[in-house]
Chain A
Amino acid sequence: MAPRDNAANGADEPKPEKSIATLSTLRIGVKAMIEKDGEKRKAEILSITTRKGKPTFYVHYEEFNKRLDEWVAPERIDLSHEVEWPLPEKPEPKSKQKQTSKTDSKQTKVGQKRPRAGTNQREASGTPFDGSAKSSRRPSQSGGKENRDPSLIAVATEDIGGTPQAEDESTIDLVDMQDAAAAAKAVPDHVPYSREEEIEKLRVGGSMTQNQTEISRVRNLETIQMGDSEIEPWYFSPYPAEFTDVDMVYICEFCLGYYGNLHQFTRHRQKCQLYHPPGNEIYRDDNVSFFEIDGRRQRTWCRNLCLLSKLFLDHKTLYYDVDPFLFYCMTTRTEHGHHLVGYFSKEKESAEGYNVACILTLPQFQRKGYGRLLIQFSYELSKIEGKLGSPEKPLSDLGLLGYRAYWQEVIVDLLVDAGGQLSVEDIGSTLAMTTTDVLHTLQNLNMLRYSNKNHVIVLTDAVLQQREKQREKEKVKGKRFIEPTKLQWKPPVFSAAARTWNW
């Protein structure tokens, strides 16, 4: 797949230097063609380490999700092709733009944890948005704009030092990250967002989305074992740095404690007395249960949960503590106990009206319809609260698809049942969805039309067909859904002290 054309960002930008490289001159930040699934993809080298005497490269494929980042052997790098060298730090800021706007594609998210602020950035100017995340505390020596992306930052550091770090770097470790992060601060303050503002927003807004300094683009865990599953992590998570060196991290299915050593884990299992998430069960049907857990009361468990879910959520931030959140955990029951399937977190008080902060079905349970249950459950809670809810932005790719599927299903069902007339707001209030989300869905399905000088909602043949198909599927496979009558829940009330005294 070809790299995206950056023409939109201005053709006058200087292109990064390209030339043939050898294995030994490859360094962090270099973009090379790498073989992947039988095709060549452009990928950026994020880290280099030596394994069994051979250099190994951690690469990110451009325009693919970070969860596909991986370690590759040198053989897979196509050295017959020119590589793009990272741009030097010194040259006028402009020269950066080309590169950044390319990397932008995957990195902007980093700076954009604040969705609203971020969305129009790119259109607004050719200036890379990434600068946004920079700290204003320390003016850069260079004065140039920086990417807040650690890999790029690492490049920057390197350039300042003038030494290529490539081969002799044996491990990607904490030091790297810290360097990167430190470099991240070395940025000018004429940026749309300072780090302080970021963190302030995190603090005040209680957001759980990703924080700039937390980006660590190299996955730190190899594999985790949880219950009877072995799972490859998707993203970095701040588990103890010591775990970088172990092959397998063992996670207790019930207390979510983490152990780098099998014997430790076995010992722990002999002592662990938890059989379900440590909170109150608020929903139970034949398949699943839901537990409500207060981040403040169950700090350790919720921290463990967040560490775990960070492995699979790119945009989650663990910068601040879990106190202002409630965690709704879905489990399946066996004689062993309640097995955590997925969860969503929810701010105790969301200024923006979000009814979900983070939502995750654990990978071993994905593609089984559990995600839909989680989503439906979050809306059932909103219905009881009498509020319109919406998931916190940004959504991940999978999150978007999950929500779209759910929205489509419930809206189409409602429309089919209702017939006659319905306003967009009616739909929203019936389903506890925000107007925006309703519009989004209708529009996306091409259901909002203009007919006879009026707007109409069209139940298109395609939509009805899809619904029909889905119904047939459900008949075969069975459908998972939440039965609102089995939900025993009142919106929890928190005193002012409980909200402000966080420790």
Chain B
Amino acid sequence: MSSTRASNARHVRQRKLNTKQPLRIIKEDEIEELPEDEAQRNIPQVETGVEKAEEIEYHLQQVIHSASTAALGEKTQQSFIPTPDAVKAKGVEYDKLYPKKFTSPSTYIRFSSTVEESVGVPYCMDDQDVAILAKLNEGKDVNGNSRKDKLSNCSEDTFEEVMSFFEETIQRLQPFADIDKSPVPSFDEMEQNIDENVSLEAQKWLKVIYPHWMLRKDSKAIMPSIKLRLLDNTSDADDADPYVCFRRREVRQTRKTRGRDAQIVEKLKKLRLELEQSRQLVQMVNQREQLNKQSLETARKVFESRGQLKKVKQERGIIGEKGDDEELLVNQRPAPKPKARQSTADSRTPTIKIPGQQRPSLDRQATENELPMLEEQLRETFDLLEKTVDTKKQQHLNWNKGWEDKTWQPITPPAESAEERPKWGFLPSPQGASYPTPPPTLPSEGSQKDGDTEMPDASAPPSPPQEAPVKAGESPEPEFIIRSMPGAWPREASPFDAPMQREPTPACRLRRGRGGIMHLEARKQRQPGLCRTVVTDSDDSDEEMDDWFAVSDAKIFDYRTALNGSVRRPDTGNRQSLPGAGAPGVPVQPQLQRVASTGNAG
């Protein structure tokens, strides 16, 4: 066939066939006669796609030939390629082997379990095993002697599970057993590898079946398996072995560079961190649930005990002062609830606030607990605190008299006075050493509102509050920085100021920005804290931007509060020597806690 094609692929020039060009589709009778059948010329010869060597095979040639003659319109006999037989198997109990259990779902099947997950225990018993199992179940051991153990019958499933365990374990222990001929592990060694995957039933039978497995065991697995190339075995011997199949395709090496390594390390670290975090999360969730459970249990116990108590009271006719049923039902002791709320409130607010409603509750507690001593003490303390706060407020008012705080409301600057004020100048340093320091009543999450109301100027009705006219000399270091260390108070200096003292006093100016917004700006200095601030709204002062930058609101606030605090210093001497009074917020806290705890104890 190919030879005929080759022979007429000569002379007569024809245009090459263009596959993009539409070709007319005609019937045979529409063809304009050509001298002979030269049509095939210049049409690229197409390979059949069959191996050249196979192409010449007898049966294929026969079929191709008959097809091609048929294509030419001649009658030919239908021929086919003979193949080995496939017949219905005899004696197969198909319905038994493949029970009719399948019902087709109405939708297309979606399925992702693997074979391993679907076939159960991989080991299947063969005839030898069946014989042995029969022996075992007759009460004999593998060698035919009667068994001494008290095990009853071993099911096929159990037997297979045991064998699977042995096979899998040895595969794990000695993956190269067929090469290095390592000795079969003893039963004790095997026993060490029992894990939770081995059912209890199977564990009972391990020892009994082990000798049988030992006997059957040679270097290969009992269930024949295909030869997979071991990962680290790159010897050439495998290459030639036709039974070795499904080799892993090597992954193309990516170029190893330091950068990539670093990247990978980063990724791994991140992964590790995330895993760790999720682990902790889970752990904590677990903890929480445990606690929840405990508390539920406790609550239940309490409830039951109360029920019992009620019964007892009824039986014994114990009736409280009021003498009504209420007494039987309601807990007589101080309600735990307000206590709990109070203590949480305390823990949340590091600074003091003495809301009005707290006192009565404390008082009530105190009376109810019949601990007059403590109660008195507490009352004293609170009175003292209140007094202190009041005096402080008064002091603030006094200090601020005649001063106007320009930084307090930068958004609405005073209309005319801005012109008269100096463009810029050094802000007086609070003793130079202490700027910036934490405010005396730094509002924390829980108490922001309260903190604000406690500002000394709160009582002066019209805001903005006035800025304290501090001269360098009279602004001592505020003591509030020790807020968090009430026990250490009072102190001359706290370790916390040390780093801050190094910061030079910034030169500041007030600048009126666009829309009349006033900005407090500091002269550029190497102060990281200040430099962080982003300047917005700077169209009108491009050239100045190099030298000036806005002071962050936080700084302003800090500074102001620092000033406020510092002026207070002279007063300390006048105060009662009660510890904690100087920094109103702080020292009270432990006391409150103590109150709370005493309440609990009561």
Contacts and interface: CB of A to CB of B under 8 A. Distances in A.
A265 interface: yes
B330 interface: no
Contact of B72 (A266, A446, A456): A446
Interface stretch (A11-19, A161-169, A173-181): A173-181
Given A68-B82, A228-B89, A320 B70 contact: no
Interface in B97-126: 97-104, 108-116, 118-121, 124-126
A105 B58 CA distance: 11
B200 interface: no
Contact of A181 (B25, B124, B241): B241
Nearest to B21: A423
A387 interface: no
Contacts of A401: 60, 63, 81
Contacts of A454: 15, 23-24
A243 B24 contact: no
Given A238-B227, A240-B226, A500-B251, A422 B245 contact: no
A366 B83 contact: yes
Contact of A304 (B28, B31, B115, B124): B115
Contact of B52 (A119, A228, A259, A424): A119
B249 A320 contact: yes
B53 A105 contact: yes
A241 to B, nearest CB: 5
Contact of B240 (A182, A273, A466): A182
The secondary-structure label for the interface of chain B is loop
A284 B105 CA distance: 11
A171 interface: no
Contacts of A307: 226, 245
B380 interface: no
Contact of B252 (A231, A458, A466, A500): A500
Contact of B86 (A68, A232, A321, A393): A232
B243 interface: yes
Given A336-B102, A449-B31, A213 B240 contact: yes
A221 to B, nearest CB: 11
Contacts of A232: 84-86
Interface string A196-224: 00010001001000000111100000000
A459 B28 contact: yes
B48 interface: yes
Contacts of A107: 53
Interface in A455-486: 455-463, 465-466
Nearest to A216: B242
Interface in A57-88: 63-65, 67-68
B180 interface: no
Interface stretch (A21-29, A341-349, A378-386, A432-440): A432-440
A109 B38 contact: no
Interface residues of B, number: 113
A440 B44 CA distance: 9
A490 interface: no
Nearest to A123: B52
B125 A229 contact: no
Contacts of A488: 108
B118 A448 contact: no
A177 B242 contact: yes
Contact of A230 (B45, B67, B89, B251): B89
A303 interface: yes
Contact of A119 (B20, B47, B63, B89): B47
Given A264-B126, A448-B40, A275 B102 contact: yes
A230 B48 contact: no
B50 interface: yes
A364 B84 CA distance: 10
Interface in A311-366: 315, 318-324, 333-338, 362-364, 366
A264 B124 contact: yes
B43 interface: yes
B83 A265 contact: no
A443 B115 contact: no
Interface in B43-67: 43-54, 56-60, 63, 67
Interface string A23-43: 000000000000000000000
A215 to B, nearest CB: 7
A291 interface: yes
A121 B25 CA distance: 37
B242 A214 contact: yes
A253 B97 CA distance: 10
Contact of A396 (B41, B54, B56, B109): B54
Given A272-B120, A321-B247, A424-B17, A395 B58 contact: no
A232 B83 CA distance: 9
B485 interface: no
A466 B59 contact: no
B248 interface: yes
Given A118-B51, A397-B81, A229 B109 contact: no
B415 to A, nearest CB: 65
A276 interface: yes
Interface stretch (A89-97, A369-377, A412-420): A412-420
Interface in A271-307: 271-276, 278-282, 284, 289, 291, 297-301, 303-304, 306-307
What size tier do the contact residues of chain A reach? 35 or more
Nearest to B16: A455
A451 B26 contact: yes
Contact of A185 (B44, B130, B226, B240): B240
B296 to A, nearest CB: 41
Contacts of A324: 249
Given A185-B240, A321-B249, A281 B109 contact: yes
B83 A215 contact: no
B22 A426 contact: yes
B242 A236 contact: yes
A425 B20 contact: yes
A257 interface: yes
Contacts of A457: 23-26
Nearest to B247: A320
A118 B124 contact: no
B224 interface: yes
Nearest to A260: B224
B52 A281 contact: no
A389 to B, nearest CB: 13
Interface in B245-265: 245-252
A406 interface: no
B53 A108 contact: yes
Nearest to B69: A462
A502 B14 CA distance: 52
B92 interface: yes
A251 to B, nearest CB: 11
B239 to A, nearest CB: 6
A264 B99 CA distance: 17
A174 B243 contact: yes
A450 B102 contact: no
A430 interface: no
A100 B176 CA distance: 40
Nearest to B116: A300
A370 to B, nearest CB: 13
Nearest to B24: A456
B73 interface: yes
A343 B118 CA distance: 21
A280 to B, nearest CB: 5
Given A238-B226, A424-B23, 17 more contacts: A4-B56, A65-B60, A112-B52, A118-B51, A119-B47, A243-B224, A266-B97, A269-B98, A273-B119, A318-B245, A338-B102, A396-B50, A401-B60, A422-B22, A423-B21, A439-B17, A448-B17
24 contacts: A108-B52, A112-B51, A203-B249, A228-B88, A240-B243, A255-B115, A260-B224, A261-B126, A280-B110, A299-B114, A300-B115, A319-B247, A323-B249, A336-B94, A336-B102, A363-B83, A395-B50, A398-B81, A446-B72, A453-B15, A454-B23, A458-B28, A502-B248, A502-B251
Query: Across chains A and B, which 4 residue pairs bring their CB atoms closest together, nearest first?
Result: A181-B240, A240-B224, A108-B53, A109-B51
